[in-house]
Amino acid sequence: MESKDANGNFLNDGDTVILIKDLKVKGTSITIKRGTSIKNISLTNNPGEIDCRFKKIKGLVLKTEFVKKT
């Protein structure tokens, strides 16, 4: 399965993506702001989700509809 970002570009392991919407992280009081760059993503078995790290949050899973590839 192939994962695509919000613009329809294919995503690969190790890519850098930028958020296109402010997102609240469940279980924390952190909000990740629009325009935040997230490096070194990992693809999951679900083509609509990617796994990544952000600051102190390990195992953060984002929906591909909220990111665009840089």
The per-residue pLDDT for 55 is 83
The per-residue pLDDT for 27 is 85
pLDDT digits (tens, 9 = 90+) for 22-48: 999 888 888 999 999 999 999 999 999
pLDDT digits (tens, 9 = 90+) for 1-20: 789 999 999 999 999 999 99
The per-residue pLDDT for 57 is 84
Long-range contacts of 14-17 (CB under 8 A, 24+ apart): 14/40, 14/41, 15/40, 15/41, 15/69, 15/70, 16/40, 16/41, 16/69, 16/70, 17/41, 17/50, 17/52, 17/62, 17/67, 17/68, 17/69, 17/70
pLDDT band of residue 54 (cuts 50, 70, 90) is: confident
